Amino acid sequence: MKFIYIFVISTFLVSVTKAQTKKRNFRQHEVGIFVGGSYYIGDLNPTKHFNATRPSVGGFYRFIPNYRYAFRGGITYGEVLADDSQSDNADQLQRNLNFKSFIIDLHTIAEFNFLEYRISNDKFKFTSFLFLGLNVFSFKPKAQYNNNWFDLQPLKTEAQTQKYKLIQVGIPFGVGIKLNVAKTVGIGLEWGPRKLFTDYLDDVSGTYPNTVEKPFDKQLASLLSDRSKNAGSNINEQRGNPNTKDWYMFFGVTLNVKITPKPLPCHAFGL
């Protein structure tokens, strides 16, 4: 994932620099919806893209100042989940943790079109594009135990001195394509990872706590901290990988409509 992240940012910056010599300015506004899927990469799903995909939806506003650039702000709602019991890795099967979390993602991004593109212009009706920006997101990891779901952050399952924050920032980036399908309507396909700065999207990061020296305040915290087959004998052993941060991804289809300004009334021209 780090290679993809570096590649997209580098390509984006190089493309923007080259495009400075070929600007075709105009002003256009669009509103749209996003429908697709969401998934996560982290300690409970280290490598499998699109694994345990869940539905996601969103809406956005796009401002287009010229044929090469666009700026977009929006909100996307999705869910991510993973379960060690579904893994083919022996260590994960032994650990036996699970989680799910609903995510609300507020983002603002810049888009660069590889080809000149504009809705309502048949000469420039298709392009691939890159995007890069900043997002603020909320999450709340839960674990299933005895057919019930419990919030994990208040339990401090790794005996953290402080609770991790449930609202954080990230860096959205990705790739996609855009295509005109009508005079004022366009569609798109895109894949957008979120580079995060937390390792607790799944509530798993460090080591099993030493409950002998520092017992949990609640029995539930102890039960959800260590659910392995040899629970209680893993003190200070690795529970997750603190050297890697978590990721979540959105992918799907966008449908956007050009906002056409109403014509000015005659009296606006003194008629």
Question: Is the distance from CB of 43 to CB of 240 less than 8 angstroms?
Answer: yes
What per-residue confidence (pLDDT) applies to 266? 54
What per-residue confidence (pLDDT) applies to 269? 46
Mean pLDDT taken over the chain = 90
pLDDT tens, 98-115?
999 999 999 999 999 999
Question: Is the distance from CB of 102 to CB of 139 less than 8 angstroms?
Answer: yes
pLDDT tens, 171-196?
999 999 999 999 999 999 999 999 99
Question: Is the distance from CB of 34 to CB of 59 less than 8 angstroms?
Answer: yes
> Domains in the chain, ordered, with CATH?
2-19+27-262 (2.40.160.20)
In the chain, DSSP assigns E strands to: 25-41, 54-66, 69-83, 98-113, 126-138, 142-145, 148-151, 167-180, 185-196, 247-258
Percentage of residues of the chain with pLDDT beyond 90: 77
Question: pTM for the full model?
Answer: 0.86
Q: For residue 21, is pLDDT > 50?
A: no
